[in-house]
């Protein structure tokens, strides 16, 4: 597997993990995330759109830190915002991520940590096998 195939594979893993987490959290089968609907999600009063804007401006690590410090894991909307945040990052170009000291692997690790905090460690272990 070459470098580009590996990055595409990581992105597919992230998207599948997002789909599974949404299904588990919402208690129903979830096929895909509709972005206009996704913008209703907030963490500590800040919209997902704010975090996405920070990512677009290259403040990926800062956005991640703020989001993770503010998240209330008992509120499913906040957890779903975090899941969407990592999906958003995973869709960024590899060169953009590297220019801002981030990687698709870090986004995948973020999804794994979320799954573990939510008690869905089995998802994390399944992802780790690939």
Q: What is the pLDDT of residue 21?
A: 81
Give the dihedral sign, CA 104/50/83/8.
negative
Average pLDDT over residues 12-18: 78
Measured CA to CA, the distance from residue 107 to residue 89 in angstroms comes to 7
Q: What is the pLDDT of residue 101?
A: 96
- What is the distance, to the nearest Å, from the Cα of residue 26 to the centroid of all Cα atoms in its chain? 16
- 38 or 45, which is more confident: 45
Which residue do the tokens 């759109």 mark?
A: 49
- Segment 55-66, tens digit of pLDDT: 999 999 999 999
Cβ 21 vs Cβ 120: under 8 Å: yes
Model confidence band, residue 45 (pLDDT cutoffs 50, 70, 90): confident
H-run or E-run covering 20: helix 3-26
Measured CA to CA, the distance from residue 23 to residue 120 in angstroms comes to 12
- pLDDT above 90 covers a percentage of the chain that reads 35
Rounded to two decimals, the pTM is 0.79
Q: What is the pLDDT of residue 36?
A: 43
Does residue 11 register a pLDDT over 90? no
- Segment 90-127, tens digit of pLDDT: 899 999 999 999 998 999 889 888 888 888 877 766 66
């Amino acid at each position: 597997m070459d470098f580009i195939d590996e990055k595409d594979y990581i992105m597919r893993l992230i998207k599948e993990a997002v789909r599974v987490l949404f299904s588990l959290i919402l208690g129903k089968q979830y096929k895909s995330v509709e972005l206009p609907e996704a913008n209703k999600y907030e963490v500590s009063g800040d919209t997902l759109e704010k975090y996405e804007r920070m990512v677009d401006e290259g403040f990926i690590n800062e956005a991640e830190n703020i989001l993770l410090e503010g998240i209330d894991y008992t509120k499913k909307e906040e957890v779903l915002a975090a899941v969407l945040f990592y999906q958003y990052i995973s869709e960024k170009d590899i060169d953009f991520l590297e220019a801002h000291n981030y990687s698709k692997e870090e986004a995948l690790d973020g999804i794994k940590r979320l799954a573990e905090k939510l008690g869905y460690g089995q998802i994390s272990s399944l992802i780790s096998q690939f």
